[in-house]
Amino acid sequence: MIRSVPAAPDAPRVVLIVAPDPAQELDVSGPTAVFGQANRLSGRPGAAYQIRIASVADDAIVRTESGIRLLADAPFHRIAEQLPGPVDTLLIAGGAGHAAAAGNAALIHWLRELAPTVRRVGAVCTGAFVLASTGLLDAKRATTHWQHASKLARRYPRVQVDPNPIWIEDGGIYTSAGVTSGMDLSLALVEDDLGHATSLAVARELVLFLRRPGSQAQFSSALQAQAAQSPGLRELQGWIADHLDGDLSVNALAERLSMSPRNFARVFARQVGLTPARYVEIQRLEAARRMLEQSERRLDAVARLAGFSSADAMRQVFLRHLQTTPERYRAAFRAQGSRAAANSPAGLAA
């Protein structure tokens, strides 16, 4: 368990992001944007977070995969001089330089020395390789970008690698799937610190479609399907999202495009990557998921509005895709909200 460092109640939490060389720029800028927006939207009289970036390179330059260069506050071995207080949250960004960083003996030693003094440690994407090199992930569940999960498991057999979740927390140590999921993880950390309302406000400000809870399996129709190539099918995808409680059978959808059912099914699967039935099922599941998270509607009402024939049919789809029931899903989401509320400034003051 990571040991917490005492700090003044109103003092900003210091977030330190360590970037490999080269880094995936969104692994650095995504969390920075989340914590930065939280400063503006938290309602606190002062900043909630002080964000610092440490480079692995000695020149304090963070080279990125896209070619953009970022100026860090200092290289990791000199960052202590730039910190306004003890580190609260330590995040290791990923990128093409993760292998070199994982083999950097000085960096790994520094991380091992720092980790026990901070409240929480996390890795974004392939930053998990660097974290695993410290031994902090031994015997813990962890995730990384799905393309690298099997390599992480082979290289660090003591780590319990799970390639499915968006992010995982185990014993105060966090890992996230990849790139934009670093923002999901950061939103969850903000929610733990400042409450659900602030986290939601940050997500809206950054125009994030939905704050994805890490406790659920990695799931999004945007990840499982793709936009169709033809304008007609793209328009149909939007229409489906607005008419989930209607007749979305292959015959009905094919008729909207004046195509034969057989040809429509073939073209749809080729362009979208899913059969029409599978695509509709996933869209309905996402709609039900949002209603369970955001409303108090009864299960039969949720099922009807999402387009399922019954609450039992919805339950079977939840079990097939998420390995949980709608009841348990709602309970788990509420439990997350309760923990966040208890950790918010208002909850701590109560």
Q: Specify whether the CB–CB gap between 120 and 173 falls below 8 A.
A: yes
- Mean pLDDT, range 160-164, rounded to an integer: 89
What's this model's pTM, rounded to 2 decimal places? 0.68
CATH fold of 13-205 reads Rossmann fold (3.40.50)
Q: pLDDT tens for residues 38-59?
A: 999 998 889 999 999 999 999 9
Delimiting residues of CATH 1.10.10.60 domain(s) in the chain: 221-334
Band of residue 76 on the pLDDT scale cut at 50, 70, 90: very high
Q: Which of 211, 188, 195 has the alpha carbon at shortest distance from 91?
A: 188
Q: Which of 10, 89, 94, 108 has the alpha carbon at shortest distance from 51?
A: 89
Return the CATH class of domain 221-334.
mainly alpha
Better-scored residue on pLDDT, 163 or 120 = 120
Using the predicted structure, report yes or no on whether residue 5 has a pLDDT greater than 60.
no
Give the mean pLDDT of the chain: 88
Q: pLDDT tens for residues 275-304?
A: 999 999 999 998 998 899 888 999 999 999
- Mean pLDDT, range 68-82, rounded to an integer: 96
| pLDDT for res 230 | 87
Delimiting residues of CATH 3.40.50.880 domain(s) in the chain: 13-205
pLDDT over 90 for what percent of the chain?
69
Q: pLDDT tens for residues 233-255?
A: 989 998 998 999 999 999 999 99
| pLDDT for res 156 | 98
Strand 87-92 relative to strand 120-124, pairing: parallel
